[in-house]
Amino acid sequence: MKSFNPSIKIKNICALTFALLTLTLTMPATMARADSGILDPLDKTALKEGTVDGASLIERMHQRATALRNYSFNYKMKVFKKNGSVLESGSFYFKKPNYIRLEEKGPYKKGAVAIIGPNTDGRVKAHLGGGLKLFVVDLSPDSGLLKSANGHPMVQSDFLSLAECLKDYEQKGMTTVATAAPVRVKGVGKSVYILDIKSGKTDKQLWKRIAVDPRSYVPVQWWDYNQNGNLHSHAQWQDFLADRSLPDQLFTIKHGSSAKKQLLEMQNSNDTVSKNKDNKTNKS
């Protein structure tokens, strides 16, 4: 019969206790590393590892935007000002060659509609919402009345214009940095590329940050920073639909009729015509 050695038991207990303590201490660190896999878009220094020059991503964005024939999306924007924030939302429709319909849903410029269409000769037909919604005005595309809440021209909100802005930043010598692959980002429902535009002599000041869809290569979120390095505005794009049927009639001012309502009316009219044709065919 083996004799009992208490020192061996004590050593085993100490070893087990140490192992459990080590596991307990390392679990939060492991969880933290898992959580850190989700990029915080408001962390200006988030892009430290696994980045590449942003030129290639910008070029792909430009190519995809150039290839789009027509599309629509909904958008939301929040602009941060000293006296509070300004909220903007609306719907945007685009059709080649350069037809645009923008509808402001508010609160910023609620009810305003701006149109560039086949009969506007490159100018903008608009009614400005509120008490002026019954009056159609003829405006230059660079009119101050056609600015988004963050100061960007409304009629340059199409994806090609935005991609050309990014190319322009490159030509001005700004630094562009992008993630080498799609990453998870806090507040974005899918993995995306992150593109940073940096300005300043040291190329360290974040000026723009864009979340880019890895399939369509259109922006899904966009953060603008001011010269002081503070967040100026945050924009989001939703419900993007490409290559949908958008008749020329949509790009005209029609009082009290939203694009959504017009498209529904056109669809119902087409369905009625198709049904009548079927009835005539059956009778014959």
One-letter amino acid for residue 122 of the chain: G
CATH architecture observed for domain 51-250: Clam (2.50)
Residues 6 or more apart from 247 whose CB is under 8 A from it? 266
> DSSP character for 200?
S
Q: What distance separates the 2 farthest-apart alpha carbons in the chain? A: 107
pLDDT, residue 253, reads 86
pLDDT score for 9: 47
What local confidence, expressed as pLDDT, does residue 22 receive?
40
Q: What does the pLDDT look like over 133-171, one tens digit per residue?
A: 678 899 999 998 899 999 999 889 999 999 999 999 999
Q: In order along the chain (284 residues), what is the average pLDDT of each group of 10 residues?
A: 48 44 36 59 87 97 97 98 95 96 93 92 86 81 91 93 96 94 95 93 84 98 94 97 93 80 82 58 60
* Long-range Cβ contacts of 50-53 (<8 Å, 24+ apart): 50/179, 50/180, 50/181, 51/177, 51/178, 51/179, 51/180, 52/177, 52/178, 52/179, 52/180, 53/176, 53/177, 53/178
> Within a 10 A sphere around the Cβ of 180, how many other Cβ atoms?
12
What per-residue confidence (pLDDT) applies to 69?
A: 96
pLDDT digits (tens, 9 = 90+) for 189-209: 999 999 999 987 666 799 999
| Sequence spans of domains, the chain | 51-250
